[in-house]
Structure formats: structure tokens, C-alpha cells
Amino acid sequence: ELKVEQNPLFLSMQEGKNYTIYCNYSTTSDRLYWYRQDPGKSLESLFVLLSNGAVKQEGRLMASLDTKARLSTLHITAAVHDLSATYFCAVDPYNAGNMLTFGGGTRLMVKP
């Protein structure tokens, strides 16, 4: 059974600080997704990582994938309040771009 573990599950940080969210998974996969969810909202796709060593950046967020270590990271640079949300990683065990297994989510709160 595929397991996807995120840590931390909850993160409270000050504006301007840097931090990393980790996503470990238990089976081989070359596809990993990061999503953002605001309270009461659906999921917004942030990054799609499709190969070992993939790195993608958008604004203050940068995601990377190490398929050998079965690890993805989501790095936050100089956090701002607007980044407060829950972040999910999800693994595609069939490398087909469809059925996903989600991590438990990281609830991020950025304090002014």
C-alpha cells in the first residue's frame, strides 16, 4: 500500500522567514504533485514534477523531486501572509497522470 507522509502537519511561521515542507512516499513514482487548498475551497494545482531532479518555482514557492530518495520538498522563501493555506503533496503511483494518493497535508499559518 502506497503511503505518502508530509511533515510538518502544522506550521506557524513569521513573515519573511524561510521554511521547507517535506513529502516522503513509499513506492517508486516519477510523478508528484503539489496543491494548495484555502479554507472552504477546492484544490489549486501548484506544481507538477515529472522526473527525478525536477525543480519548479513560482513566486516564493519552489518544489523539487528526488525519486531515488522518494522525497519531494516545497520550499517557502520569505513567507507572506497570503501563503497561509493547507498544502498537499500527491503521488501518482501509476505514472499515468490520474489516480493520486495524497499526503496528510501541511497547514501553514504565516503571521505578520
Residues that bind another protein (CB under 8 A): 31, 33, 35, 40-43, 45, 48, 50, 88, 90, 92, 96-105
How far is the C-alpha of 41 from the C-alpha of 50, rounded, in Å? 26
Residue whose CB is less far from another protein, 14 or 52: 52
Residue whose CB is less far from another protein, 14 or 95: 95
Q: How far is the CB of 65 from another protein (least distance, A)?
A: 13
How far is the C-alpha of 26 from the C-alpha of 7, rounded, in Å? 15
State the Cα angle at 51 between 49 and 55, rounded to 5°.
Answer: 50
How far is the C-alpha of 72 from the C-alpha of 30, rounded, in Å? 11
Q: How far is the CB of 35 from another protein (least distance, A)?
A: 8
